[in-house]
């Protein structure tokens, strides 16, 4: 799907990000010991970044702990290319971070906003690409 859509999007001067199922940051190949890099590296020059979707009820510490390995890899560690192909590392946005809980009436808009702030405050991770941080959040006012 990326191979079909990315050339059209990139040709008009836009970039393409991907959004997977909950708690997924890649669609790595289906073989033993496949890696995050095996998905992202072939998408250099096609994808600009990730809209990471996560479960609703994680603690603040777990929210950040889940983002750190993604940021670390996007900083060029663990054999991930340090440039997305667009002159910067792959971007990481945290989206739909509390959507189900808010839909169920179990979480307020202000709590969703607060959780977005927690994710935006995740410590940047450094590597060959420099420091990479969460660039934005969704499902809130941020």
The ranges assigned to domains in the chain are: 2-137
Q: Kindly provide the b/e burial profile for residues 52-80, where b requires at least 16 CB atoms within 10 angstroms of the residue's own CB.
A: bbbebebeeeebbebbeebbbbbbbbeeb
Please tell me which residue, 88 or 112, carries the higher pLDDT value: 88
Position 114 scores a pLDDT of 87
Position 23 scores a pLDDT of 80
Tell me the C-alpha distance between 19 and 2, whole Å.
11
Position 104 scores a pLDDT of 84
104 vs 9, 10, 56, 68, 98, CA distance in Å? 35, 37, 11, 28, 10
Average pLDDT over residues 99-119: 85
């Amino acid at each position: 799907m990326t191979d079909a859509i990315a050339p059209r999007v990139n040709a008009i001067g836009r970039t393409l990000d991907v959004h997977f199922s909950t708690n997924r940051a890649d669609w790595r190949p289906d073989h033993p010991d496949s890696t995050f890099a095996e998905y992202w590296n072939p998408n250099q020059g096609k994808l600009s970044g990730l809209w990471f979707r996560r479960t609703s009820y994680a603690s603040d510490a777990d929210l950040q702990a889940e983002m750190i390995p993604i940021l670390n890899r996007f900083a060029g560690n663990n054999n991930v290319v340090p440039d997305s192909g667009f002159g910067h590392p792959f971007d990481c946005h945290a989206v739909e971070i509390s959507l189900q809980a808010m839909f169920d009436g179990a979480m307020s808009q202000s709590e969703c906003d607060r959780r977005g702030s927690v994710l935006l405050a995740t410590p940047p991770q450094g590597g060959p690409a420099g420091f990479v941080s969460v660039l934005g959040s969704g499902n809130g006012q941020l």
